[in-house]
Structure 1
Amino acid sequence: MRLVHRPGGTLASRARRVGIDGVLGRLDRVGSWTSVPGEAAEDGLTWDERDAQTRRWFPQGITTRFDPTGDDADGRRVLLTSWYGHGALGYAVLGSRISVVDLAAEDAPRYAHVRLVDERRVAGLRGLTRVPVHAGGLAWYGPHLFVAASGGGLRVFRVADVERLRLRSGSWLRGRGTRHVLPQAGAYASEQDEGPRMTYSFLSVERGVDVDHLVAGEYGRKDRTGRHRLLRFALDRETGLLATDADGRAHPVEAGEGVPRMQGATVVDGTWFVTASAGEGNPGDLWVGRPGALERHRGVLPTGPEDITSWPGTDRLWSLTEWPGRRWVYAVDAGAWVGRR
């Protein structure tokens, strides 16, 4: 992968920046705690009625905060999830967004949406445009949020850059369910020395002893031979970005074969946990082990499983589902599935 734009300054006024903490102070949507179907799924949450049923937005990625210093305890139980604009004009009209979810409330989970945007300066005026990516995976590492951009590689955002907007009449954001935006800070282009170009479908962070890693993989159907790849990239703890060579290129430190219809993967203590879908209405699979030697646990996840992440300092994984009317965010006990047949 090649760093095509280094995260640097933003056109936003510092007075407008509120960061993730600013969003947590204004959570305007209320979900509900609920039971979740599937042997591997523990109880979780679902969205409010608008988000649980909409066909304009489909949830995809999930991450919690990983701090390069190893101190992930910030007093808040926060998840970030991603959504993409669904349908023929979804990318063009809606782009993509994230949800900031606070799990701390006992009565009900609360959350708010943040639109992902790209910013431009034209004739001295600042403009915001959509970020038209599938956003199938998220990885929150220190100050940066990595977003999977399919064949386009990765988009990079700084969570401190979240802004609260004053919406004006005629704004394309008006009435679209958000008062917050997160401008893009950088990007990594997908490159391949040989073979088909990698599709970055999902992401997660692996906590290491000396080196942390960005885990990435690609979705592929059964008939797409050689298109079910799993990769690990070293992360630079000082910059919070991918470790790169002198030319600004990041090279995977591990590449392996996954399984068809993968939707998410994360690594805990050397063990890979992979989610795979089986079509709407059919329960999903959990695969456990290592690339090329993954053990399948058929039908133990709810229908439509997507990205998966680990929660630092615990044995819990978190995942989510995408289908309208069957949208859940739920935990998985990682230890219960290691070595299980």
Structure 2
Amino acid sequence: MTAALHVRRTPSREPLVVELAARTGTRPGLAALLADLDRRAHRSVLPRLLGRRVAAAWGWDAEDRRNEWWPQGVSTTVDATGLGTVPEGIAGRRVAVVSSYAKAVPGPDGPMKQGARLTFLDLDTGAYRHVLLVKPVRRDDGIVGHEPVPVHAGGVVWSGSWLHVAATGKGCVSAHLDDLVHLGDGERGTAFGYRWVLPTRVDHRGGADEGTDKLRWSFLSLDVGTRSLVVGEYGRGEKSTRIARFPLADDGLPAGSAEDAALTRASEVIDTGVKGMQGVASVDGRLHVTTSHGGWLPGSLVTARSHDARGWRRTVAAAPMGPEDLSWSPAERLLWTPTEHPHRRWLVALRPVG
């Protein structure tokens, strides 16, 4: 079972990214983005009353608390530096990145879907900005343009200068922070008004050997101890709820294999996950997963030893309603999770169990 699941990297779209940036704006890098945060989050005490394991929480501004962008994934600069590579532009800052998908956003000609976006939040100041995730494409007229990335974005991992965004049945899409594009004034209309876009450079397409069902990449986290990408499946009823690990190289990309540098096979697969998992993280050898119970009931943390993921133990009312992806911060001893429901949207820090 372990080797039956794999992920394959597509050829790089970097030449298209370079051409897109040269035509539409500039590629000034992460430091420039972090100097251009235009919104403000606030510290919130309400989540502490709604979740027994809540240590702290940020609330978004009024528009983002109610709109049709649904927060899903989370990663932080702790993950970014976890494998030893420090992305240019961090300069010691504490930053979280949250992935969201759009259900239906109002447009000039009616509702439209804008795909997925990433929100960069300074955890010390509360300043943040949204960045639209796009795919560079060469149009029929030969000019390189871009299009939305229609993924659920149920998880995100920031590893080195790479951001991996979950794409469910497709695996994940991966973007490099050097590719951040600051659009010129005349180009913002091509990106639904966004000033910043991040083109995806490669895709990592999930697959499986004959006789094994492909993994659904519902959410992601980084496990520094095993230097791996931990991927989990959301499933209810008869659907599988597997958790798999894929080895990562020092640069933050799936490590490849001896027979094929673009193909990475799973190093471990756990078949005994929890129904309704929304996120997973490895904490000192213990798996933590979130489960959600609708828009009005608090969420749970469910834990088990990584090597024996059968005796799951549930901590009820551990988080506010709607917890999603997880990201572990060892130095702070905190698990980060976003909550998704309108008017009950926070980025929450949880104390782990055990």
TM-score by length of 1: 0.89
Partner of 1:302: 320
Q: Contact 1:167/1:174 (CA < 8 Å) preserved in 2?
A: no
Measured against aligned partners, the alpha-carbon deviations of 1:89-132 in whole angstroms (never above 9, x if no partner) come to 99962111000000112xxx110000000112333422011011
- Indicate whether 1:151 and 2:191 are aligned: no
CA contact (8 A) 1:320 1:330 kept: yes
Aligned match of 1:104: 124
> In 2, are the aligned partners of 1:275 and 1:286 still within 8 Å (CA)?
yes
Do structure 1's residue 203 and structure 2's residue 217 form an aligned pair?
Answer: no
Residue number among 41, 62, 66 corresponding to 2:54 in the alignment:
41
* 1:190 partner amino acid: G
Residue aligning to 2:196: 180
Instruction: Count matched residues.
Output: 325
The 1:167/1:88 distance shift into structure 2, 3 A limit, reads closer
Of structures 1 and 2, the one scoring higher in RCO (CA 8 A, sep 6+) is: 2
The separation in 2 between residues aligned to 1:312 and 1:157, in whole angstroms, is 25
Please list, as runs of the form range in 1=range in 2, the aligned pairs for 1:135-284 lying within 5 A after superposition.
135-168=153-186, 171-175=189-193, 178-193=194-209, 194-208=211-225, 211-221=226-236, 223-225=237-239, 227-237=240-250, 239-245=251-257, 246-247=259-260, 248-256=262-270, 257-284=272-299
Deviation at 1:191, TM superposition (A): 0.7
For the residue of structure 2 that corresponds to 1:156, the secondary structure is: strand
Residues 133 and 92 (structure 1), Cα distance of their counterparts in 2 relative to 1, 3 Å cut: farther
Q: Are residue 114 (structure 1) and residue 131 (structure 2) matched?
A: yes
Q: Check the 8 A contact 2:85/2:160 in 1, yes or no.
A: no
* Structure 2 stretches lacking a partner, 5+ long: 1-6
Residues 89, 154 of structure 1: alpha-carbon distance in 2 compared, 3 angstrom cutoff:
farther
Query: Percent of aligned pairs with the same residue?
Result: 34
In structure 2, the partner of 1:314 is 332
Paired residue type of 1:48:
D
1:293 Cα deviation from its structure 2 partner = 2.6
Cα drift, residue 88 of structure 1: 9.9
Q: Distance in 1 between matches of 2:289 and 2:234?
A: 11
Runs of 5+ in structure 1 lacking a partner? none
1:74–1:295 CA distance, 2 compared to 1 (3 A): farther
2:134 counterpart letter in structure 1: V
Please identify, of 88-97 and 4-13, the stretch whose mean Cα deviation from structure 2 is larger. Answer: 88-97
Distance in 2 (CA, whole Å) between partners of 1:195 and 1:137 is 23
1:19 aligns to 2:25 (yes or no): no
Task: From 65, 72, 93, give the equivalent of 2:113.
Answer: 93
Write the letter of the residue equivalent to 2:8: R
**Please, which of 302, 311, 331 is the counterpart of residue 287 of structure 1?**
302
Q: Name the CA shift for 1:331/1:170 in 2 (closer, same or farther; >3 Å).
A: closer
CA contact (8 A) 2:166 2:173 kept: yes
Q: Deviations over 1:260-294 (max 9, x none)?
A: 11000011221111101111111111011233232
TM-score, normalised relative to structure 2? 0.86
The offset of 1:171, in angstroms, is 2.3
Q: Per the alignment, in what secondary structure is the counterpart of residue 104 of structure 1?
A: coil
Q: Whose helix proportion is higher, 1 or 2?
A: 2
The aligned counterpart of 1:127 is 145
Matched letter for residue 298 of structure 2: P
